[in-house]
Structure 1
Amino acid sequence: MMEMQTLNLPFEKNKMSLNASEARLSAMTRKTFLSMWSYENPFYKRGKELCDVLVVCGNDVIIISDKLNAFGDHPDAKVNWKRWYKKAIDASIRQLCGARNQLKRDPGKVYINAQVSSPLPLRLPSIDQMRIHLIAVANGCEEPCLKLFGRSSITINTQIKDSSEIFSVGTLTDDGDFIHIVGTKALDAIFQCFDTTRDFIDYLNRKKEALLREHWIIDGEENLVALYMMSQRGDRPFSIPLHAIPIEKDIRVVKGDKWLTYLGGAAHAYRQESNAREMSYFIDHLIEGVVEDYTSERMIIGQNQSISYHEQAFRMLASESRVSRQLLVQALMDIYLESTNTFWCNIAESIDEPSLYYLWLLYPPAPMEWQIEKLEAHLLNELTKYMIVCRSKFPNARRIFGICLPNRDCNHTSQIYRVIDGEKWTDEMQEAANKYEQVENILAETQEITLIAAR
């Protein structure tokens, strides 16, 4: 079992000044990947920056290079394009390939400050398990592209590798690795639509798989994002809808009008108006709140644990898609208005990771004379009981993530987290589960489906 009462973040975030483009990218990556997994301007040696943003979440490693370069004023647009391409795209590709090689060569030498005194607090996956995603953000050519083509986004053409075609980019590095080259508008669309780690990485993987199979020309990646988002109303999984993308002269073509169609359509309106989607951000705030509580020195227990220890557990929650987070929060809302003078519990299985169960436990006001240490020990004990009975009720649960929060009338703010490995089940634990259910009436009426239970 892992006890998750607090979170230890023994590091200082790099405080380098950011230009407008980097600041914008930083805000988007923090919102999608959250603070524990997203790091701006890491270094691999003193004064040597690795990339602009590094995201580490399990075996997935996202490396982002962001370049902002003014487009030239030469009379020949092709000359300006080649010069801009060299500064904005070639430079990013070199940085990304260098960062990729550095991580594979020496993953232990990644730091979050220029003085290389603060190592990356997360443990990188082994080389054979590492899934690297390269993203080059190229800003600065929107206005001349708009003047020439009537759209502000660069074209993706999977058959090119250099600057030979004006305002067009390929998908492969010189050594054959797949790379996502995106402009300002496409980047905005991607982060607008994929604001969880899982949704973001799912899109990158499905895009890569589709584009490697055949010749594509995409007039602005935001239009591919639009087709992806319109592939269904909001239930996973999304897909690259090949049936909706025509083939012209053996080329899969995505025209430049899909993004506006999506923004004005029912699929986008449904997501914008969805109360469940808005409530799902409670999960994001919950995770970020744990980080904030630690950095504000409001934690009581667990400061002796490393960030890697805690990250393993919270990664489960952070890896849930937006739709899954909606359903998880709904399970919490189902008990939120119940009586506040007792414990209330609800259990939900992840739709993204079958056999991963989440257990919400709302606790009532405690005696005013209790010290916080006594309160948290009591809450941890109660949460453990509920989780053990949950495992007995749902024997297919490989992992159970327990979250104990104050109910709406409680004057305490303590939050307790715990993870149980459901595969490590003993006769003694089964006996304890039987006792808690029969004697203390914990989850006594919960059947084979997720139900609300009170005691």
Structure 2
Amino acid sequence: MFKGSGGLTDSEKYLKWLCDKSFLSLWSHANVFRQSGSELCDLLVIFGDEIIIFSDKYCQFPDSGNLDQDWNRWFRRAVASSAKQLWGAENWIRNHPERIYLDNKCQHKLSVPIEITENTNFHLVLVSHGASNKCAQLSGGSGSLIFFNEIKGFDNHSFPFHIGDLDVNKTFIHVLDDNTLNILLNNRDTVADFSIYLKKRKKFLRSGITVFSAGEEELLAHYLKFLNIEGEHDFVLPNNLESDSAIAFDEGLWINFQGSSQRLAQLQADRKSYIWDDLIEEFSRHAIAGTQHYVSEGGFLDSEKAIRFLAQTTRLERRLLSNNLLDIIETTPSNMRRLRVIIPTNPDNIYYVLLLFPCYELKDKYSYEDYRESRRYFLQTCCMITRLKYPDANYVIGIAMESGYHFTKRSEDLICFDCNNWNEGLERSAREDQEQLGILVSPSRFEFNEKEYPD
């Protein structure tokens, strides 16, 4: 499979590295093209219905001695021109999703075709480098661009270091800078968390409430601190705030939030969640390289869909999944089999099946190929029986690996079963397998409760 660009400029390379780390390499594409010699955007993230388009530009901030003039020049080059590129890229993708290429000669298309539907969400992110040092020098603080949503349209962006809504009649553009790019991608570092944040940010900033924020990080601090009535992070406001009121997020909110005991406990607890990221990237690496041990008839596209289920989880969900995986690995001897089904806590009804399957000493008549085939068949059987036991399941995602905590050469299998394909024949077969193998006949039930901010 063709490997796309890793970025051309230093800032693009860094953006690609950040996005690979946050959104993982299977879905992040740097320097994609619409036609030979015509770049579409600096970085494109395609993840199911979520399409994130990045523009990344460094423009040195002028130093003529006239701050207003210097700002206007920098804004036109670093922000206005990039915004036009983003809107143009969005329009191209909407109208020509099949004409997007990974190389300058337009010989290699995206490995996963884009399907534009009524559920497709476009997120436009403009990263403008070059003004932070000057902003910090003159205004103090972190140097983050100041956000004020009463500024509307290019022509009204005349006050230095203040950013608003670039065009109220077009798709909202989220403007980040050197400082806030790092903060946002390191703290909303899954596709789910990042895209949800952008959706709620856009809704909030176009809600009619006047919003002033000393920097993107101050907005993020408020968002992470509060939950709405559905238990989701959101820009929760005082009950007495009218729709035409004003609210300010002053400098210092982010620093205070980062130093709080709950936040420090969260960051400590989240460390284990990156085991899930490593697992996703391992599956992705083999899918991209074509080195998977087994591939279903759909080939790469089947693999991408299965891996995408693993990657559509939030950071908190990954912590729960990782802790379950670690628990069975640490408590299962190398000669024992262990099965755990993780029941969903949200309405998507995606069930996870974790299987540890012992790899006994291989003999002449039982090869490693035989072991992998047996394990894969058993995992598939467990997924079918899971659907039998939990008929509300929409998808069952199965992961299998060797038993034993100290197994030095661990391998992984991944299965995605779409329960819409369930029929009487599958149910009859699953019931027979359950009776014969005794799988999930009377499973032990226990709870793993994960608080985002541990006590």
Equivalent residues of 2:22, 2:186 under 8 A apart = no
Alpha-carbon distance between aligned partners in 1 of 2:353 and 2:311, rounded to the nearest angstrom: 16
State TM-score, norm by structure 2. 0.90
After TM superposition, give the deviation of residue 434 of structure 1 in Å: 2.8
Alpha-carbon distance between aligned partners in 1 of 2:128 and 2:336, rounded to the nearest angstrom: 55
Q: What aligned pairs does 1:139-218 form with structure 2 within 5 A after superposition?
A: 139-151=129-141, 152-160=143-151, 161-162=153-154, 163-173=157-167, 175-213=169-207, 214-218=209-213
Question: Deviations 1:143-198 (Å, cap 9, x if unpaired)?
Answer: 22112222311111112222222211112436432110111222121112101110
Give the match's secondary structure for 2:150. coil
Alignment match, 1:12: 3
Equivalent residues of 2:362, 2:368 under 8 A apart = no
Aligned partner letter, 2:415: R
Aligned partner letter, 2:164: G
My pick for the range that moved more, 161-170 or 132-141, is 161-170
Alignment match, 2:15: 25
Question: Deviations 1:372-431 (Å, cap 9, x if unpaired)?
Answer: 332222112111121122112211111100111112255664322111222333333333
Alignment match, 1:315: 308
Root mean square deviation of aligned Cα: 2.5
My pick for the range that moved more, 290-299 or 191-200, is 290-299
Q: What aligned pairs does 1:344-363 form with structure 2 within 5 A after superposition?
A: 344-363=338-357
Match of 1:52 among 42, 46, 57: 42
Aligned partner letter, 1:426: N
Match of 1:80 among 60, 70, 91: 70
Q: What aligned pairs does 1:113-128 form with structure 2 within 5 A after superposition?
A: 113-128=103-118
Q: What aligned pairs does 1:54-453 form with structure 2 within 5 A after superposition?
A: 54-151=44-141, 152-160=143-151, 161-162=153-154, 163-173=157-167, 175-213=169-207, 214-231=209-226, 237-243=232-238, 250-274=245-269, 277-294=270-287, 298-302=291-295, 305-336=298-329, 337-369=331-363, 370-408=366-404, 410=407, 413-446=410-443
After TM superposition, give the deviation of residue 367 of structure 1 in Å: 4.1
Aligned partner letter, 1:313: A
Equivalent residues of 2:295, 2:303 under 8 A apart = no
Percent identical residues: 26
Give the match's secondary structure for 1:170. strand
Equivalent residues of 1:376, 1:414 under 8 A apart = no
**Unpaired stretches in structure 2, ≥5 consecutive residues:** 449-455
Alpha-carbon distance between aligned partners in 2 of 1:173 and 1:443, rounded to the nearest angstrom: 56
My pick for the range that moved more, 137-146 or 239-248, is 239-248
After TM superposition, give the deviation of residue 236 of structure 1 in Å: 5.7
Name the CA shift for 1:212/1:378 in 2 (closer, same or farther; >3 Å). same
Name the CA shift for 1:323/1:132 in 2 (closer, same or farther; >3 Å). same
My pick for the range that moved more, 112-121 or 284-293, is 284-293
Alpha-carbon distance between aligned partners in 2 of 1:53 and 1:22, rounded to the nearest angstrom: 8
**Unpaired stretches in structure 1, ≥5 consecutive residues:** 1-9
Alpha-carbon distance between aligned partners in 1 of 2:60 and 2:103, rounded to the nearest angstrom: 28
After TM superposition, give the deviation of residue 295 of structure 1 in Å: 5.2
Name the CA shift for 1:396/1:448 in 2 (closer, same or farther; >3 Å). farther
My pick for the range that moved more, 172-181 or 245-254, is 245-254
Alpha-carbon distance between aligned partners in 2 of 1:382 and 1:442, rounded to the nearest angstrom: 10
Give the match's secondary structure for 1:442. coil
Aligned partner letter, 1:406: E
Alpha-carbon distance between aligned partners in 2 of 1:245 and 1:189, rounded to the nearest angstrom: 31
Name the CA shift for 1:373/1:297 in 2 (closer, same or farther; >3 Å). same
Equivalent residues of 2:335, 2:403 under 8 A apart = no
Alpha-carbon distance between aligned partners in 1 of 2:115 and 2:53, rounded to the nearest angstrom: 14
Equivalent residues of 1:331, 1:347 under 8 A apart = no
Alpha-carbon distance between aligned partners in 1 of 2:185 and 2:123, rounded to the nearest angstrom: 15
Alpha-carbon distance between aligned partners in 2 of 1:312 and 1:255, rounded to the nearest angstrom: 42
Aligned partner letter, 1:381: Y
After TM superposition, give the deviation of residue 264 of structure 1 in Å: 1.4
State TM-score, norm by structure 1. 0.90
Alignment match, 1:3: none
Alpha-carbon distance between aligned partners in 2 of 1:261 and 1:449, rounded to the nearest angstrom: 37
